[in-house]
């Protein structure tokens, strides 16, 4: 690519999960000629989810990757310009906003919609990767239903892990909760709830040694980090709830975030502290993190961007 060529846009959308594609659908229909860069994982987290049963309009359920293909096709059909490429640097210190793609292409955009999502944190053991989608999951709310009436394990000690353990306890016969230390990080009220739920068994001072199973999860081997003893627990699923990492690092010099990197938006809107920069989906939502809420905020971001463009006379 030749140096010195700058592309000027009204709307640039960074990221391609439900939030980014929905923003593209709305912006394209409003004739804002949006350009969307898909980023490192086109389709986002849903491309590593197998069955999606909780998105309205799919009575039979749908595979995550297939659903994202539908979103992409719809955005394209409306006229959104969808491209491969990764935003690697931004400069939001003046208008128009500057964004560099793959470190070389420079874009000047009147509005930017950040929908870069969040990535689940994983333990990093090979069996976890191998069985991902075959009983290993980072979303109990998404996948717990498939293990109704079975025994499952969950690892984590924060509010999300506690919440997900309680959610699973209503579906599964037994929930084995693996906690690394001798206490949880979760709020007192959540801990009390976990400890008073009869079918949640907590394993303190324990680490996951290995997830066992050939084609699907069959058991988990845990190790007591005080005694070094190991034990195998037969389970049908293994849920990882050790947190999410919002994909927001390249914006940190300009956009306000909380201590964990989630972008802060004005309540009830997708507006950030930078005029003309909006954030939608999991990059700004640590509470719900569902496909349907991400899509809803993508719609909001496109409408917010459209109003902003009108206000500056575009």
Predicted local confidence at residue 305, as pLDDT: 98
Per-residue pLDDT tens digits for 148-206: 999 999 999 998 899 999 999 999 999 999 999 999 999 899 999 999 999 999 999 99
Task: Give me the catalytic one of 143, 282, 285, 304.
Answer: 143
User: What is this structure's pTM?
Assistant: 0.81
Decide if 142 is catalytic. Answer: yes
Please report where in the chains the tokens 């199973």 appear, as a residue. Answer: 213
Predicted local confidence at residue 159, as pLDDT: 87
Predicted local confidence at residue 139, as pLDDT: 87
Share of the chain above pLDDT 90, in %: 87
Contact partners, residue 39, CB within 8 Å, separation at least 6:
14, 15, 16, 85, 86, 87, 116, 247
Predicted local confidence at residue 211, as pLDDT: 98
Query: With 60 as the cut, is the pLDDT of residue 117 above it?
Result: yes
Q: Whole-number mean pLDDT of the chain?
A: 94
Predicted local confidence at residue 228, as pLDDT: 95
Per-residue pLDDT tens digits for 58-82: 999 999 899 999 999 999 999 999 9
Instruction: Enumerate domains of the chain plus CATH numbers.
Output: 6-119+244-311 (3.50.50.60), 122-240 (3.50.50.60)
Task: Give me the catalytic one of 142, 172, 282, 285.
Answer: 142
Per-residue pLDDT tens digits for 12-71: 999 999 999 999 999 999 999 999 999 988 888 888 766 788 899 999 999 989 999 999
Query: With 50 as the cut, is the pLDDT of residue 2 above it?
Result: no
Decide if 143 is catalytic. Answer: yes
Per-residue pLDDT tens digits for 270-295: 999 999 999 999 999 988 889 999 99
Query: With 70 as the cut, is the pLDDT of residue 3 above it?
Result: no
Decide if 299 is catalytic. Answer: no
Residue 1's pLDDT band (cuts 50, 70, 90) = very low
């Amino acid at each position: 690519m030749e140096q010195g060529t700058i592309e000027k846009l009204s709307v640039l959308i960074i990221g391609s999960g439900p939030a980014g594609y929905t923003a593209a659908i709305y912006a394209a229909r409003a004739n804002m000629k949006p350009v969307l860069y898909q980023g490192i994982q086109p389709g986002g987290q849903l491309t590593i989810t197998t069955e999606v049963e909780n998105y309205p309009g799919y009575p039979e359920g749908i595979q995550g990757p297939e659903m994202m293909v539908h979103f992409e096709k719809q955005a394209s059909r409306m006229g959104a310009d969808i491209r491969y490429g990764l935003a690697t640097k931004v400069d939001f210190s003046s208008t128009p906003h500057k964004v560099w793609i793959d470190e070389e292409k420079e874009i000047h955009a009147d509005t930017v919609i950040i929908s870069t999502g969040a990535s689940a944190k994983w333990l990093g053991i090979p069996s976890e990767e191998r069985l991902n989608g075959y009983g290993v999951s980072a979303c109990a709310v998404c996948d717990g239903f498939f293990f109704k009436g079975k025994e499952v394990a969950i690892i984590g000690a924060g509010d999300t892990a506690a919440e997900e353990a309680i959610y699973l306890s209503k579906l599964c016969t037994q929930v084995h909760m693996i906690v690394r230390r001798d206490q949880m990080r979760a709020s007192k009220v959540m801990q009390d709830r976990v400890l008073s739920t009869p079918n949640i068994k907590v394993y303190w001072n324990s680490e996951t040694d290995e997830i066992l199973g050939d084609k699907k999860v069959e058991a988990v081997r845990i190790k007591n980090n005080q005694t070094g003893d190991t034990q195998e627990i037969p389970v049908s699923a293994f849920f990882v709830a050790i947190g999410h990492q919002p994909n927001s690092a390249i914006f940190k010099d300009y956009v306000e975030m909380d201590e964990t990197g989630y972008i802060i938006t004005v309540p009830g809107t997708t507006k950030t502290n930078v005029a003309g920069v909006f954030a939608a989906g999991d990059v700004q939502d640590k509470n719900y993190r569902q496909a349907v809420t991400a899509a809803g905020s993508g719609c909001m971001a496109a409408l917010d961007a459209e109003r902003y463009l009108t206000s500056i006379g575009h």
